């Protein structure tokens, strides 16, 4: 028996054992972790229901950004207490729901467009005083601000790269192929006087498949739940019809809308000036901030601007949390990113990844993941001649995962075909969409 056959046999044994356990009433401990990644796979495989509260919670967590919606009748609905852009799941540090009146105060602007400074407490009963420079003057800000912000814009505008630059840890998949982002991944910026929760969305585009439609719904749902929206315009591309379309969609929203001109390292000052003018004529943005996520230029200024427009609110997440995305989802994204490397033109949107199992043994984390493609021909592309490509995918992903987890990693990748999964509602559910 070859090593591959042995691994497959072990997988089958593990699956059978899991099914038996679930049939017997669900698993505890490690199962909960597995459910978080597989929460997506779990429901599709018919394991979600029996898992009861745990599976529902895990499934909802994967769908925290709204993929799960209001529940699909399969025990995968969003569990109470789990976060979304509008329902922060982790208990706020100090009590009290964030009120809309907080938003009204926080988001109010004076005639000059500068943020006005409410002199009220922070909702915790512990008013804090902060000073920051604003347009050359020192402003006293007595409030604690917390809330959700997201970057939107046409595909490839640089949203994920910007999110990563702000959070300082690789949490969102990036690539030079449009529509790479599928998951809503939150990153959290902690400041003494504020907490900024960043939500990452796919680019809005004309849908060609069921997956495309669901992604667009997801974007709109997130938009309606965030406090500040940064519309990204890549500086190296002219403002176009797509940008106009997105801007027109924003008019009805409650959120403060700012413009972010991205990738400014790619253009000269003259081109940038013209671009800023074109952007300003598109919509009545509260602010326009030019940035480069690659050089870091103005990234902190952008955070200041986003924070300024957040509502007054208690802290939403504990201090040490950087993202609320389950580790397995981050890992699956890193594997998907690695698998896309070099084959983006052939199968840019056909790859999905599910982490089936993760276990820690001493200083080693063992990860078993399935890589789904839509057709047999794609399977051969991903595996490559004599498995060489798949090996490369694995070792690249392993290095990234080791960085994320801070442990040594054993990664077992298996390529499977899920025929036309982007058009098949059952498969989409299984893969977490």
Ligand X SMILES: Nc1nc2c(ncn2[C@@H]2O[C@H](COP(=O)(O)OP(=O)(O)OP(=O)(O)O)[C@@H](O)[C@H]2O)c(=O)[nH]1
Q: What are the C-alpha distances in Å from 415 to residues 38, 260, 382, 418?
A: 16, 39, 8, 10
Nearest to 183 by CA among 54, 289, 330: 330
265 annotated to bind ligand = yes
Nearer to ligand X, 333 or 356 (CB): 333
Work out whether 156 is an interface residue with ligand X (CB under 6 A): yes
Stretch that binds ligand X, among 111-119, 137-145, 286-294, 328-336 (CB under 6 A): 286-294
CB of 203 to ligand X, least distance (A): 3
User: Cα separation of 28 and 5, whole Å?
Assistant: 29
Does 298 bind ligand X (CB under 6 A)? Our answer is no
Tell me: is residue 159 an annotated ligand-binding position: yes
Query: Is 262 annotated in some ligand binding site?
Result: yes
Pairing of strands 364-373, 408-417: parallel
Cβ distance to ligand X smaller for residue 170 or 379: 170
Q: Tokens standing for 8?
A: 């497959």
Residue 234 counted as an annotated binding residue: no
Q: Is 65 annotated as a binding residue?
A: no
Does residue 60 come out as left (phi exceeding 0), alpha (psi in the -120 to 50 range) or beta? alpha
- Let me know: does 155 contact 179? Beta carbons within 8 Å: yes
178 is in an annotated binding site: no
Q: Check: CB of residue 167 under 8 Å from CB of residue 188.
A: yes
Residues paired with 411 in a beta bridge: 367
Cβ proximity to ligand X, 264 vs 310, nearer residue: 264
User: Which candidate, 37, 325, 93, places its Cα nearest to that of 188?
Assistant: 325
Give me the least distance between CB of 151 and ligand X, in Å please. 7
How many amino acids of this chain bind ligand X (CB under 6 A)?
23
Distance (Å, whole) CA 47 – CA 38: 9
Residues 139 and 145 sit within 8 Å (Cβ to Cβ): no
The reply on whether position 202 binds ligand X by CB under 6 A is: yes
Establish if 293 lies at the interface with ligand X (CB under 6 A).
yes
Q: Does 158 bind ligand X (CB under 6 A)?
A: yes
Radius of gyration of the chain (CA): 22
Would you say 196 and 183 are in contact if contact means Cβ atoms under 8 Å apart? no
Position 272 contacts ligand X (CB under 6 A): no
230 touches ligand X (CB under 6 A): no
Q: Residue 263 annotated as binding? A: yes
145 binds ligand X (CB under 6 A): no
8 A C-beta contact, residue 258 and residue 230 = yes
230 is in an annotated binding site: no
Judged by CB under 6 A, does residue 338 bind ligand X?
no
User: Are 374 and 422 in contact, with CB atoms under 8 Å apart?
Assistant: yes
Instruction: Compare residues 264 and 331 and give the one whose CB is closer to ligand X.
Output: 264
Shortest reach from residue 355's CB to ligand X, in Å: 21
Binding residue per annotation — 119? no
Give the integer Cα–Cα distance in Å for 335 and 393: 7
CA gap 98, 107 in Å, rounded: 14
Candidates 157-165, 238-246, 270-278, 341-349; binding stretch for ligand X (CB under 6 A): 157-165
350 counts as binding ligand X under rule CB under 6 A? no
Is 178 a binding residue for ligand X by CB under 6 A? The answer is: yes
Task: Kindly write out the interface string for residues 359-398 of this chain, putting x where it contacts ligand X by CB under 6 A and - elsewhere.
Answer: ----------------------------------------
159 interacts with ligand X by CB under 6 A: yes
Contact flag: residue 267 with ligand X (CB under 6 A): no
Stretch in the footprint of ligand X (CB under 6 A) among 19-27, 132-140, 175-183, 362-370? 175-183
In the set 180, 315, 328, 427, which binds ligand X (CB under 6 A)?
A: 180
| CA 227 – CA 86 distance, rounded (Å) | 9
Residue 62 Cβ, how far from ligand X at the closest point, in Å? 18
Which residues lie across from 367 on neighbouring strands?
A: 358, 411
Distance CA 172, CA 395 (A): 19
* Residue 294 binding ligand X, by CB under 6 A: yes
Pairing verdict, β 364-373 and 352-361: antiparallel
User: Is 264 annotated as contributing to ligand binding?
Assistant: yes
Cα separation, 179 vs 116, whole angstroms: 37
Residues near ligand X (CB under 6 A) are: 155-161, 174-176, 178-181, 202-203, 262-263, 265-266, 292-294
Point out the annotated binding site.
153-160, 200-204, 262-265
Point out the annotated binding site for GTP.
153-160, 200-204, 262-265
């Amino acid at each position: 028996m070859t090593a591959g056959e042995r691994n497959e046999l072990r997988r089958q044994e593990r699956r059978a054992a899991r099914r038996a356990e679930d049939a017997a009433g669900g698993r505890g401990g490690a199962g909960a972790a597995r459910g978080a990644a597989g929460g997506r796979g779990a429901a599709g495989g018919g394991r979600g229901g029996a898992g009861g509260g745990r599976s529902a919670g895990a499934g909802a967590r994967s769908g925290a950004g709204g993929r799960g919606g209001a529940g699909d009748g399969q025990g995968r609905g969003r569990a109470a207490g789990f976060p979304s852009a509008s329902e922060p799941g982790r208990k706020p540090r100090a009590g009290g729901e964030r009120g809309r009146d907080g938003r009204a105060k926080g988001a109010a602007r004076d005639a000059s467009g500068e943020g006005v400074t409410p002199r009220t407490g922070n909702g915790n009963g512990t008013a804090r005083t902060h000073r920051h420079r604003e347009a050359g003057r020192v402003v006293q800000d007595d409030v604690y601000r917390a809330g959700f912000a997201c970057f939107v814009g046409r595909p490839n505008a640089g949203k994920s790269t910007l999110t990563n630059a702000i959070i300082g840890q690789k949490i969102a998949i990036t690539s030079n192929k449009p529509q790479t982002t599928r998951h809503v991944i939150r990153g959290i910026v902690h400041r003494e006087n504020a907490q900024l929760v960043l939500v990452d969305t796919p680019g809005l585009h004309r849908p060609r498949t069921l997956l495309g439609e669901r992604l667009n719904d997801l974007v709109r749902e997130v938009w309606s739940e965030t406090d500040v929206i940064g519309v990204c315009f890549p500086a190296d591309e002219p403002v176009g019809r797509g940008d106009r379309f997105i801007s027109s969609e924003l008019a009805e929203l409650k959120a403060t809308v700012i413009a972010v001109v991205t990738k400014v390292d790619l253009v000269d000052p003259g081109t940038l000036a013209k671009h800023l003018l074109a952007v300003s004529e598109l919509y009545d943005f509260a602010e326009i901030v030019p940035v480069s996520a690659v050089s870091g230029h103005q990234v902190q200024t952008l955070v200041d601007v986003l924070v300024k427009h957040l509502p007054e609110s208690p802290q939403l997440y504990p201090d040490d949390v950087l993202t609320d995305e389950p580790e397995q989802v981050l890992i699956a994204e890193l594997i998907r990113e690695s698998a896309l490397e070099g084959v983006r033109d052939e199968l840019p949107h056909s790859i999905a990844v599910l982490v089936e199992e993760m276990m820690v043994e001493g200083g080693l984390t063992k990860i078993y993941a399935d890589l789904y493609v839509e057709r047999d021909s794609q399977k051969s592309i991903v595996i490559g001649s004599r498995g060489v490509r798949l090996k490369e995918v694995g070792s690249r992903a392993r290095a990234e995962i080791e960085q994320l987890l801070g442990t040594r990693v054993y990664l077992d990748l298996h390529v499977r075909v899920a025929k036309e999964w982007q058009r098949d509602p059952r498969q989409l559910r299984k893969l977490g969409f």
